[in-house]
Amino acid sequence: MADDLLATARRWLDAEPDEDIRAELATLIASAEAGADTELAARFDGSLQFGTAGLRAAVAAGPMRMNRLVVRQAAAGLGRWLLDKQAAGELPHAAERGVVIARDARRKSDVFADDTARVLAAMGIRAMIHPAVQPTPVLAWSITGLDAAAGVVVTASHNPPADNGYKVYLETGSQIVSPVDAEIAECIAQFDPLAVELASADDPRLVHLDFTWVDAYVDSVPAVRLRPDVPGVPVAYTAMHGVGGAMIERAFAAAGLPAPHVVAAQHEPDSSFPTVSFPNPEEPGAMDLLLELAQDSGAVVALANDPDADRLGVAIPQPDGSWRRLSGDEIGWLFADYILDNTSGDDRLVVTTLVSSSLLGQMAKAAGVHSEETFTGFKWIGKLATERPDQRLVLGYEQALGYLVAARPLDKDGITAAVLMAEMAAAAVADGVTLQGRLNDIAARFGQYVTAEQSLRIPPSVGAEWVAQITADPPSEIGGRAVTEVTAYPEANLVRLMLAGGVRLQVRPSGTEPKVKLYGEAVNESPEVLNTLLAALAAQAPKAP
């Protein structure tokens, strides 16, 4: 096998267009020739799988990593899928309508976006490229405005600095869902990554967009405000070295809000992410600089976007003067309370995911509006919204800091969410309360909901077997609490266990990482009790082989 891997690696070396990746691969080949072929096998024994999140991996050589050859193959597969759908009459005029493309500021995002456009153009498909770097919500928002057949954004979102990725959107402006991911993956497999054709740089099918659609997105932002008469309050903000900073400043200005105080060290895009090892607002320590700024600036609320600005992290001051980072569910509850209180109509719809808190359903019931749970991943929220044309989605959220508070795009948007959260903080001040006070009021009305998560380093295949085992032969008790109900969600590869006292525990293998995730929720229980029950569930997990 080593000889086959070496032969494949040498062919990749001949085709690799980037000198830095060529140098890396040449070093790997030399090591393999000297007998140390472990890393070469990790790079070449297989191929990066295209899923509902598209592609995501470290930027490096080989078919198991993100590089221009892998991106070209993915673009060709997307192009083939579009042309097949056009030929079948399922996506009329797809080639003419084209694909709109945007990118973040991560390593090689510029060449990945350019290669995507040139591959599509070579296949006869119009490719429209957004100028400079743009937040993911701008790409998703512009798809429907341009009437594009699809969209691509080159980003690794909140992944570690070494990574890059590739997300595909449908004509609706929502991310692809099953079975489209599998269909595109089949098309990708039809192409040799070393022999994908590129159009010339002056091909007429390559359309370099100006800032018109970016400006149009900014112009749409003020519509998210529900109490535009409320004057703004001091807000602290970090872009976390991503591409949200300039857009947040424009969005706040357009919405009539004062410019936020920004973490200067993290405001400009920087692919090396020098101040954070893991640029995800959910990660402990990632918002430390923001909290220092919030304390020093007299801010009422602290906001953080992830690097592609489709997620929103929030921290709020406490009565003792400290700051507390909110969970994704707490942010969702605040949005729900505010939106339902400041909108009207029995056609309103709120949507969350299976692993997010069940409190949203209770809040919707009390307000007399429609509510739904859907599968994990924001793409399913967007899909459900397209299936309910007679209902008006006023809030979609998932506990992983994804929020949709505007009519468009049908994807999470950390920009408009930040604007509305800033208004909510201002409205609280105007009403003589605080955001913590709002959360306390929600708890007084509905009970104190507590949520928690754990991740187990177990291969997803083993996790899937565990889910099947629990479904077929559920435990009678967990941590001394009787199991009262078991519900399987096969499409989501998830099982839900209800325990005595209303505690909810869930098990779901990750779709993108070698781990199994456990989710817990309880009402009027202490966090310690919930974490103890999660630990008891974790103790029943099978051991990795």
Catalytic annotation, residues = 157
Q: Which of 202, 519, 529, 186 is nearest to 356 (CA)?
A: 519
Cβ atoms of residues 470 and 486 within 8 Å = yes
Instruction: Yes or no: say if 404 and 397 are a contact pair by the CB < 8 Å rule.
Output: yes
Sheet containing 55-58: give its strands across: 55-58, 163-169, 150-154, 99-103, 127-129, 206-208
Sign of the alpha-carbon torsion through 270, 511, 115, 134 = negative
How many CB atoms sit inside 10 A of residue 476's CB?
6
Cα 264 to Cα 449: distance, rounded to the nearest angstrom: 36
Identify the H or E element spanning 377.
none
**63 neighbors 165 (Cβ within 8 angstroms):** no
Buried-exposed string 2-17: b where 16+ CB fall within 10 A, e elsewhere? eeebbebbeebbebbe
**Cα 310 to Cα 43: distance, rounded to the nearest angstrom:** 30
Measure Cα distances from 262 to 226, 299, 434, 456 in Å. Answer: 24, 11, 22, 36
* Residue 241 DSSP one-character state: T
Strands 150-154 and 163-169, how do they pair? antiparallel
- What is the identity of the amino acid at 387? E
Helix (H) or strand (E) holding 397: strand 392-398
Nearest Cα neighbor of 376 from 468, 478, 513, 526 is 513
β-pair partners for 104: none
133: phi then psi, degrees, rounded to nearest 5 = -95, 145
